[in-house]
Amino acid sequence: MSISIRVLATIAMTVAAGAAGAQVNLTAETSSPGNSPHVMMVHLADVLAREGIADIQVQEGQTATNSIVNVAEGKSDMVTSPTILYFLLENGRGPFSGIGAEAGAELVQNIRAIAPFNAGAYGLFAPVSSGIESYEDLAGRTVWNGPPRGAALTLGRQTIQLGSGGFQEGEDYNGIQTNWGQLPTVLVDGTAEAFLVPITFPSDRVITALSAGDINIISFPKEIFESEAMQRFLSAPGNSPVVIDGSRLGYGEGQGVNLISEDGMFRSPGVPFATMVRADMSDDLVKEMTAAYIASFEELFARTPYAGNVNFDVVDQVITGFCGGLGLKYHPGAVAAWEEAGYDIPDCAE
């Protein structure tokens, strides 16, 4: 979600949009290339330009923590953001503690969602040569579990704790952290014996690690995953469940990737995201934008191998992590577009 290099990519065509034929120009902020938030935003920009709905100036490589505030303050029109940031801003917590709860609650009134998806799941994987085949095998091992700070590190530590039955970093295993840009090097240089990191299906991170030898992808223990305590965790703001058949992980037979699972299913906490817009954006414009996005799913799924596995076309409450303690609502224009396309938006998210 944070990147040190900022790249300004202008994806634009001169088009006419709206009933009056006026040109609509929007600004958007997203992550660095190579992940689902970036794919979603660039795809949306392509589609809206082609359909003559809007020109979107996309700023890549942005820090979502800053970008969501920019949308709330009207400095930008759209953002791809993990939903946990909406919750934290709403409550003035974490990176938004300086803003405070009162101001944060006021700011989020300016933000609405148009489309949910996820950035994969917090997947545990390790070289086959390490002998690590379960969360409990992490005892005494060195694990890369996130960047030096932020929500990713917190969830990485929580996932290991839950999957292992209570392991704590520094007591039961050795945790190491680097920034995201250094991760590709760590994946192959032997610094870590295992990795707990967001992965898609397939994942560039797993493929990178494969260059140093065969890999085990380790599913969250089924019994723990289905427990009442774990289900409460998965329904908390910023969390969601990911359950995917091993045959859909995206690695063919003989490619060196082994799924360790009781039943051939991969389970792990997911990383729910949403594309969010200014709440005062017109209903008609948002409806037109969202409808064009929905109509382009087949093209979107063809953009990258993992696109079919990150729920671009899913609005289910549990899978998307909406409602419960998360106050994020859909924009009315988006609700109209999804429902006209035959999808059921949860009442609690309207």
Q: What is the DSSP string of 256-302?
A: SEEEE-SSSEEEEEEEEEEEEEETTS-HHHHHHHHHHHHHTHHHHHT
pLDDT, average across residues 332-342: 98
Q: What pLDDT band is residue 253 in, cutting at 50, 70 and 90?
A: confident
pLDDT at 6 over 50: no
Percent pLDDT > 90 in the chain is: 81
Long-range contacts of 8-13 (CB under 8 A, 24+ apart): 8/57, 8/59, 8/60, 9/42, 9/58, 9/59, 9/60, 10/57, 10/58, 11/42, 11/45, 11/46, 11/49, 11/56, 11/57, 11/58, 12/49, 12/55, 12/56, 12/57, 13/49, 13/50, 13/55
pLDDT of residue 335: 98
Question: What are the tokens at 220?
Answer: 């969250």
Mean pLDDT check: name the lowest of 15-29, 257-271, 274-288, 313-327: 15-29
Domains (ranges, CATH) in the chain? Answer: 7-118+273-349 (3.40.190.10), 121-270 (3.40.190.10)
Question: What are the tokens at 268?
Answer: 């792990």
pLDDT at 20 over 80: no
Backbone angles phi, psi at 78, to 5 degrees: -145, 155
Which residues lie across from 257 on neighbouring strands?
A: 215
Q: What pLDDT band is residue 35 in, cutting at 50, 70 and 90?
A: confident
The single residue listed with the structure tokens 């427990």 is: 227
Following DSSP, what letter does each residue of 53-91 receive, concatenated?
S-EEEEEES--HHHHHHHHHTTS-SEEEEEHHHHHHHHH
pLDDT of residue 9: 38
Q: Of 154, 117, 112, 94, nearest to 327 (Cα)?
A: 112
Question: Which pLDDT tens digit goes with each residue over 151-203?
Answer: 788 889 999 999 999 999 999 999 999 988 899 999 999 999 999 998 999 99
pLDDT at 16 over 50: no
pLDDT of residue 100: 96
| Mean of the per-residue pLDDT values of the chain | 91
pLDDT at 14 over 80: no
Distance CA 42, CA 249 (A): 24
pLDDT of residue 148: 87
Percent pLDDT > 70 in the chain is: 93
pLDDT at 317 over 90: yes
Mean pLDDT check: name the lowest of 34-43, 69-78, 130-139: 34-43
Q: What pLDDT band is residue 94 in, cutting at 50, 70 and 90?
A: confident
pLDDT at 115 over 70: yes
Fill in the DSSP letter of residue 251. Answer: -
Distance CA 88, CA 84 (A): 6
pLDDT at 54 over 70: yes
Q: What pLDDT band is residue 267 in, cutting at 50, 70 and 90?
A: very high
Cα 166 to chain centroid, rounded: 25
Question: Which pLDDT tens digit goes with each residue over 57-86?
Answer: 999 988 898 999 999 999 999 999 999 999
Distance CA 198, CA 31 (A): 14
pLDDT at 106 over 90: yes
pLDDT at 333 over 70: yes
Q: Which residue has the higher pLDDT, 271 or 102?
A: 102
pLDDT of residue 214: 97
Q: Of 221, 228, 230, 227, nearest to 262 (Cα)?
A: 221
- Count the residues in the chain: 350
Distance CA 334, CA 350 (A): 9
Radius of gyration of the chain (CA): 20
pLDDT at 12 over 70: no
Asked if residues 340 and 100 have their Cβ atoms less than 8 Å apart, the reply is: no
Which residues lie across from 275 on neighbouring strands?
A: 80, 115
Asked if residues 77 and 17 have their Cβ atoms less than 8 Å apart, the reply is: no
Asked if residues 313 and 297 have their Cβ atoms less than 8 Å apart, the reply is: yes
Distance CA 289, CA 275 (A): 12
pLDDT of residue 11: 37
pLDDT, average across residues 90-105: 94
pLDDT of residue 300: 97
